Amino acid sequence: MCRRVVLRRVLPPLLLPLLAALTGCGAIDRGDPRVRDDEPLVIACAASNRSVMEAIMADYAAETGGRVVAQYGPSQALLAGLEVVRAADLYLPADDRFMSIARERGLVAADYPLAEMRPLIAVPRGNPRGIDALDDLLDPGLRLAIANPDAAAIGAVVRAALDPVGRWRPLAERAAVVTTTVTEAATAVKLGSVDAAIVYDALLHDFDNLEGVRVPEFADVVSLVGVAVVEPADPRGEAAAGSARSARAHRFARFCAARDRGLARYREHGFTPLPGDAWDPDPEVVLYAGSMLRPALERTVAEFEAREGVSVTRVYNGCGILVAQMRAGRVPDAYFACDTEFMTQVGDLFPESRVVSQNELVILVAKGNPLGVGSLADLTKPGLRVGIGHEKQCAMGWLTQRTFTEAGLRSELMENVVVQTPTGDMLVNQMRSGSLDAAVVYLSNAAGSGDVLDAVRIDGLSCSIANQPYGVATGSTHRRLAMRLLAAIETAESREIFEAEGFRWLGDGVGVGTTR
């Protein structure tokens, strides 16, 4: 019968900053507005990523002068520490399930995917016990080390994979050593304390005297590694002094996730890196968006720039004009169209897109509706001055023509159209000045003019509805960053702005073309 041993330290280094924070002995609360921006960033990093993170931090310091220090430990313990005190700027667990918990608890603002790891059995080089199957770990006399599933990611993912098929408990009961981290489990094999341990494949990069045995039970078990920026404990602190620090944290996260910087190091250290952008210390994302989206987007985009320390060049115009520019070769990183039709027209450039919001056409009239306009048919009254969007220049104009056709009134209505513009805002301005009696615009165009204008709904016509998709160009050099902008647009805070501007929210990932 193997004697069960639990490796412990008198005081794990992981707990030192946490204890210092709790006792007021020097740990820094990153939500404190008094924190100076020249202090090093702190990353709470899973022990399995220690070697690669040390290399990345050294690269970052050499290239940018930016200082980052790390707290290493089990993913769960690091997560628990963040819940007690935000003593780190970034969090890097060894598996996405811990990242998901952090997101659900509001501990992290955003995360950057980095790499994959897979479990295997670590044995001394040469595999003296001849281990080639999971059941070999149950052999009498074999000493096995496993990482605590309630603390370390490797233990959690292996338990999740084996427990449903009844394979976890026999291993757990046979384990001679239960460690706090996966690195300690591998070290136990290196020192000869055990004959085998279940570890991540990437960890073998740091242990020349060990080799790995892959078994079918772990073939589909993957841990996704990512780094996230920690939310400040006090949002007021973020507003007062934290935005610059947040931008620094995002900058380091981008460095980690750059295919020619951090991800190259991940590949060298035995991980399977995920796709990433090329490193750019001051990236600029070019966003094309339909003009009617501007009121709903501006605040979110500006906050995104400040928070992440990047630039977003916005080009607002009628979608017909934007499509023509793209066809002429001026392709942005991202395109937010007023309607799916105008995304379809450049589907070869943006094969994957997501519908975020919905808008509808309305008839704009003077306050109190003095001319008694209640439907499209009323716009055919003799002498009425009607304004609409230009069919070739904007989605609104194209949609208006389809709506007129569906109503069976196109020729009659067009007789009263005195102006066609590339944007709805132009029509609103002409309505406010009194040069038009009515205009067909998006509901969102009318949102800020309720003091002098009324909106009349167009009922019963399916063509009067427009869906707004967001896509990232296949040729963009900032694909990941452009997708992060979409993530910002899809937040609850952004949704409130969209709805206040007259949009209906559809930010549940409805796909256009190839879906996510």
For 160-186, the pLDDT digits (tens) are 999 999 999 999 999 999 999 999 999
Show the tokens assigned to 186.
Answer: 């591998």
d(CA 339, CA 398): 10
Exposure string for 129-141, b = 16+ CB within 10 A, e = fewer: bebeebebbeeee
The amino acid present at 95, given as its one-letter code, is: D
- Provide the 10 A C-beta neighbour count for residue 205: 14
| Phi and psi, residue 145, nearest 5° | -115, 135
For residue 425, what pLDDT is reported?
87
b (16+ CB within 10 A) / e for 222-236: ebbbbbbbbbbbbee
Q: Which residues contact 217 (CB under 8 A, 6 or more apart)?
A: 134, 161, 162, 167
Q: Report all structural domains of the chain as residue ranges with CATH numbers, in order of start.
A: 6-114+225-271 (3.40.190.10), 119-221 (3.40.190.10), 284-357+468-513 (3.40.190.10), 360-464 (3.40.190.10)
Residues 445 and 369 sit within 8 Å (Cβ to Cβ): no
Predicted confidence at residue 259, as pLDDT, reads 97
374 beta partners = none
Q: Is 26 exposed, middle or buried (0-12, 13-18, 19+ CB in 10 A)?
A: exposed
Question: Average pLDDT over the chain, rounded to whole?
Answer: 89
**What are 58's two structure tokens?**
């050294």
**Nearest in space to 145 (alpha carbons), one of 122, 177, 120, 189:** 177
Whether residue 298 contacts residue 271, with contact meaning beta carbons closer than 8 Å, is answered with no
Quickly tell me which residue has 């003091």 as its tokens. Answer: 451
Is residue 14 a contact partner of residue 25, using CB atoms and an 8 Å limit?
Answer: no
pTM: 0.82
How many other CB atoms sit within 10 Å of the CB of residue 440?
29
Phi, psi of 347 (to 5 degrees): -60, -25
Q: Where does residue 77 fall: left (phi above 0), alpha (psi -120 to 50 degrees), or beta otherwise?
A: alpha
Pick out the chain residues at pLDDT < 50: 1-35, 236-241, 510-516
In sequence order, what are the beta bridge partners of 224? 116
Rg (CA), the chain: 29
In 223-343 the beta strands, taken as DSSP E runs, fall at 223-230, 272-273, 284-290, 311-317, 334-336
